[in-house]
A and B are shown apart, each in its own frame.
Chain A
């Protein structure tokens, strides 16, 4: 009766710029889903969330999201909402992660004042 567990990743928004980020295997944050740490069991998911919890000063609203894995084991989103979060507005391909220069905004910035 083993429940089939879908692989999951932890996603959040960067506190400073709001961009979508994913937790990597070092417990830090990356803007690329391909670099996200993958939880293969519910326990691994909890471990990742446990690492995210104390990081309020860097990210907002961490949560577990389902992913599927391609032949090389890289995660890709299954829900359309998560697909948009990996890209940007579907009506503006020039903006967001899908744009030619997605990293023109610095994440996790200590840059400048407030």
Chain B
């Protein structure tokens, strides 16, 4: 496959763009692979990519029931940050954010990482104390953040009303190297790199059963026939409980709908990402000019990928005090994704009760930012059979042992 470069653009421009090859191949599935990753979203593809890049395992298939990146990878609000309170979270999210910095060069695919800065508003005294604590923790963890006052918030984001009256802005946790990325491009870039390593990315191939013999995985049944493997990674977000059920165990996960929406495109007015966790809302402006807005999850178990209208109404009602200009904007599109929420709202990168099966799920409402780091840690777990330092604390057995990774202070709902 050809490399993307300025010379390639010129060459193709001269011949009417007739020579661009397909970015990734669509092969027929083989009878068996060394390793199978279920789920060709960002996390699954990143897992496959780092299996090849870091561990030399390239006999890998990535199975996807729909189309590549059609789940939560294509449905999020693309925020990238790592300002977490707890050490295990800060480690994996900062690894991820650092990988995003050079991901375009590494994949030879522009993922449009834009480190425009992320601020998390403190709108109550409790949040001020919480974020000061997080800033101190981040300093110890080597994550670059600072607590800034309201005047600096106003300088960075002039469209904001910081005076309340209900929720005045008292300060913010500011991460200058956080930002946004192009969500589809992350999936496409990883898919292209995996395909170049000879891995098989098989779309429209739903897993319908998992074969376990003597406590060890032997393969999967799919809509395109049975496929054997020794190692199976389940990286399917909202449908993790269904895959676990096929393998005969339960996960500490419930699937909920999380909605997002975008406004009509307007001229550039906001060049940072703002999260307001007291009122459950976050917003940034896309390169097309749309205001990209997200809020909290709907309350009940749901697999429909459509949420209740009153939730987005609540999100906008809450944000409009801080961003009065929103009251004049028309909203263009709304969509929902099915997020997998764990008991402590932190992810699982873990061995399971079945030998050879590993899970990477539970990223809940904040998976996009974690894609490279999650794939890195999951690949190490699948390659070695034991978790490395990034994944060790994210075992699914922590719920039995009471070792929760409680991020409620750092992230609250917008996690």
Specify whether A and B are partners.
Answer: no
List A residues at the B interface (Cβ < 8 Å): none
List B residues at the A interface (Cβ < 8 Å): none
